[in-house]
A and B are shown apart, each in its own frame.
Chain A
Amino acid sequence: MFLRLLYQSFRRQQRRKLLAGIAVTLGVAVATAMIAVGVDIGDKINRELRSYGANIVVYSDDAALRVRVGDQEVKPAAPGTHLKESTLPSIKGMFWGHNILAFAPFLDAQAQSQSGPVSVLGTYFDKHLRFGTEDFSTGVEKLYPWWKVQGRWPTDEGADVLVGSQLASRAGKQVGDSIDLSGLSVRISGILTTGGAEDNQIIAPLAVAQRLAHAPDAVDRIYVSALTKPEDAFARRDPERMTAADRDRWYCSPYANSVAYQLKEVFPGARAEQIRQASQNEGTILSHISGMMLLIAIASLLAAALAVSAAMATTILERRQEVGLMKSLGATAPAIASLFVSEAALLALGAGILGFLLGNAIAQRIGQAVFHSSVAITPVLLPMVIFLALLVTVAGSVAAIRQALKLDPVLVLRGDV
């Protein structure tokens, strides 16, 4: 009897059920989309902020002081001990290796050109590396997406170079010209504008700089761009003075400090420091944006809950006559209430799943349109959203059912209320 009533209610009142269903679907969809975007936005903006460049630098511990004023290297750093180029791929093998978005090694060298001494900076442009079974490529193209190259990027294996824009205009060089570096003739494949010291340098493949510096396998500094978590009080603690458990937790959190610590383990005898300008400021921006989106997700959840419970309440209040009829036929209040609540629960379940799928689609659209990448949806969201939908629909119905049950059936059936 109960099941038949339930079935008939869905079969006969299709318009009303459809309206309530649409409300639940939309509410759940909006809540799902906002939560998914809100949860994922930290990661998305973090990647966006990483386009600023490196946030960790690794350099040899006893490297001499660099004496550099503005763009000009006054005195090249005396060759101290170098880092080893052959160790570079192991960066990907460290605990937070997957959070390393890009890195590039740098080696300073000096060369004599036709127009006097020039400073040469050796680096990776987009070098293919292999660690274990993993192939990846890294270099300044990924690390500094804002470097503007007029012409083409050189390859890492060839002997083509980039020439800084100021140096190029001083020496009257253009793309395609060749330039003599201490007897080594190289071709200019592009003119580089960065707004920094590189504008006065020649950027060459690392191997070329190593030949010029007579330092095989050598690297001066490594700039690393890593996805990190904003720094908090725990991140600033000294790992040497922690308890074993704290140290493990610190080591396994992607703080700039702990990633730097792991880099130090990869390069024994090196120092690894967070570049405070990048790491400190992006922390602030990230926490502001995530906090804001969290609050907005909560607001959208509230709005959706309100919309759904209002829609449920109205559909039930429209059915006062039905309630009156059941009461006058002798149905008890709990029997009526359980019928209506079951209806609401069924609706919430069906429309909730539909809404979750729709919300996923909306979140993906936002992700594709704004960030050109998909938004990660945690599967935990599905039971959570369905539970919330059930809660809100049933809560919205219960208040209305109680109100409908309080009315006198005689008055309701006469149409006086």
Chain B
Amino acid sequence: MSLHASIFLHVLKRGLLGRGNRPLIAFVALTVASTMITAMLSLYQGLESKLNRDFRSYGANITVAASDERSLPTDAINRARAALGPEAVVVPFAFAVARTTGDEAIVVVGTDLDQVRRLDSWWSVSTWPSRDNEALIGARAERHLRVENHNFQLDFAGRQLSFRQAGALKTGSDEETRVYIPLNTFERWTGIKPSLLEISAPGSRERITAAVAQLESVFPGMDVRPVRQLLHTQGSVVSRMRSVMLASTLLIALTVALCVFSTLTSSILERRHDFAVMKAIGSSQATVNALFAGEALTIALCAGLAGYVLGSAIAAWISQANFHAMVMPRLSVLPLVILADVVLALLAAMLPLARLQRIEPAGILKGE
């Protein structure tokens, strides 16, 4: 048995290392296949999180509003952050209607401007305020304020306060008609506490919907709403891209599998002389099969590993180039790729062997 095994291993080794470039061709073909499959699967799995992240740049996907003219509890921000984890962006908003020096009504918003900058990255702002008395003025509000020398005054319930204009804000919607000032200045001036939280929760549409339910239990009696238009769009785009990616992955996998299959099959058929010689000097069908299968298996394993590394690198490069964020190598892809390689290699080896079995070794050796 041990002699038998050692001869088997020796023949296997010679088959792999000492036979010119035939195993190399099989290895290259299988590596290409597993590279393509790894890259497509990694991109497929990574795409969803990339797209979900892209959709977060739209801004808040959940709002929490205090009901009926009241304000939110003072620890609301911390409670929302605790419920949603550090990835979520939570921004408080407080609103008041002030009068300009021309006695026009104008909405003044107190908020955490640093967080708004993270939440609404699409705001076009010339300069963000950095000090307590600096304000961000909506593009449409500007001419109503009578800004002189970057300074203007507002009046809230008889209390005057002067501000310095930091920058102009352009959004194309209602934000342009308002004045934004830092929250603590706003609270000291008006005494009004935040009444609205805008929250950007991470993840897919399903995860955001779950976050809404979670926030509802954290803030009973308050008005917790998903931003429906955003979730609707996000859900449909992500699911459509998922289907397109799946279809592309299948098509590409099919093409490379076919290519590998035809290459491997013909490389086995070309070795019909080896096959015939082995049979002629008395080895059993099982041994010959095991030998060819062992060869295919070894090549497939090595090619699977090499393809996994290469494919992960390609996926990482593509997503770096396209999304400016890495797709990390996914270990869950590895068993799948190796399995695909092994099945492909074994099938490609076994089909021609089954055909050769039906022919007499003598016939093959004579070249028929």
Binding site for B on A (CB under 8 A): 19, 23, 26-27, 30, 33-34, 37, 41, 44-45, 48-49, 51-53, 56-57, 65-71, 74-75, 144-146, 148, 193-195, 273-277, 279-281, 284-285, 288-289, 291-293, 295-296, 299-300, 303-304, 306-308, 310-311, 314, 317-318, 362, 366, 369-371, 415
Contact = CB atoms under 8 A, between A and B. Distances in A.
B240 interface: yes
A296 B173 contact: no
Contacts of B144: 65
Contacts of A288: 50-51, 54, 322-323
Contact of B173 (A33, A148, A275, A369): A275
A65 B232 contact: no
A33 B254 CA distance: 13
B262 to A, nearest CB: 5
Contacts of A311: 259, 262-263
B228 A195 contact: yes
A148 B228 CA distance: 10
Interface of B: 29, 32, 36, 39-40, 43, 47, 50-51, 54-55, 57-59, 63, 65, 95, 97, 104-107, 120, 122-124, 140-141, 144, 170-174, 177, 195-196, 225-230, 232-233, 236-237, 240-241, 243-245, 247-248, 251-252, 254-256, 258-259, 262-263, 266, 269-270, 273, 318, 321-323, 367
A57 B54 CA distance: 24
B171 A277 contact: yes
A68 B259 contact: no
| Binding site secondary structure of chain B | helix
Contacts of A293: 244, 248
A65 B171 contact: no
Nearest to A315: B266
A261 B268 CA distance: 67
Contact of A415 (B54, B229, B255, B367): B367
A163 to B, nearest CB: 18
Contacts of B323: 288, 292
Question: Considering the complex of A and B, which 4 residue pairs feature the smallest CB-CB distances, nearest first?
Answer: A307-B259, A146-B232, A275-B172, A280-B122
A378 B276 CA distance: 53
Contact of A195 (B97, B104, B225): B225
B244 A370 contact: yes
A157 B266 CA distance: 73
A311 B60 CA distance: 53
A276 B171 contact: yes
11 contacts: A37-B247, A45-B240, A52-B229, A65-B104, A144-B229, A195-B227, A285-B237, A288-B323, A289-B237, A300-B248, A317-B266
A243 to B, nearest CB: 26
B226 A195 contact: yes
Most chain B CB atoms below 10 A, which of A273, A284, A307: A307
Most chain B CB atoms below 10 A, which of A34, A53, A292: A292
A75 B236 contact: no
A365 B311 CA distance: 28
Contacts of A369: 243, 247
B57 A281 contact: yes
A65 B32 contact: no
Nearest to A271: B140
A277 B173 contact: yes
Given A48-B233, A67-B97, A366 B262 contact: no
Contacts, number: 197
Given A70-B65, A281-B57, A314-B266, A370 B322 contact: no
B322 A67 contact: no
Given A70-B95, A293-B244, A300 B172 contact: no
Nearest to B251: A30
Given A307-B256, A310-B262, A48 B240 contact: yes
Contacts of B251: 30, 33-34, 300, 362
| Binding site secondary structure of chain A | helix
B299 to A, nearest CB: 16
A193 B140 CA distance: 29
Given A277-B173, A371-B240, A70 B196 contact: yes
A71 B93 CA distance: 13
Given A68-B174, A307-B255, A53 B229 contact: yes
A52 B172 contact: no
B183 to A, nearest CB: 16
Contact of A49 (B65, B172, B237): B237
A315 B234 CA distance: 49
Contact of B43 (A48, A193, A296, A303): A296
A65 B141 contact: yes
A390 to B, nearest CB: 18
Contacts of B270: 317-318
A292 B177 contact: no
Contact of A366 (B227, B244, B259, B273): B244
A26 B252 CA distance: 10
Contact of A26 (B29, B122, B177, B258): B258
A49 B233 contact: yes
Most chain A CB atoms below 10 A, which of B57, B106, B241, B254: B241
Nearest to B253: A303
Contacts of B123: 276
Most chain B CB atoms below 10 A, which of A53, A279, A284, A369: A284
Contacts of B95: 69-70
Given A276-B170, A288-B50, A318-B266, A67 B55 contact: no
A295 B322 contact: yes
A307 B195 contact: no
B248 to A, nearest CB: 5
B140 A65 contact: yes
Contact of A74 (B107, B124, B195): B107
B32 A23 contact: no
A296 B58 CA distance: 26
Given A33-B251, A51-B236, A75-B105, A273 B172 contact: yes
A282 B225 CA distance: 23
Given A48-B240, A275-B173, A284-B57, A30 B262 contact: no
Contacts of A284: 54, 57
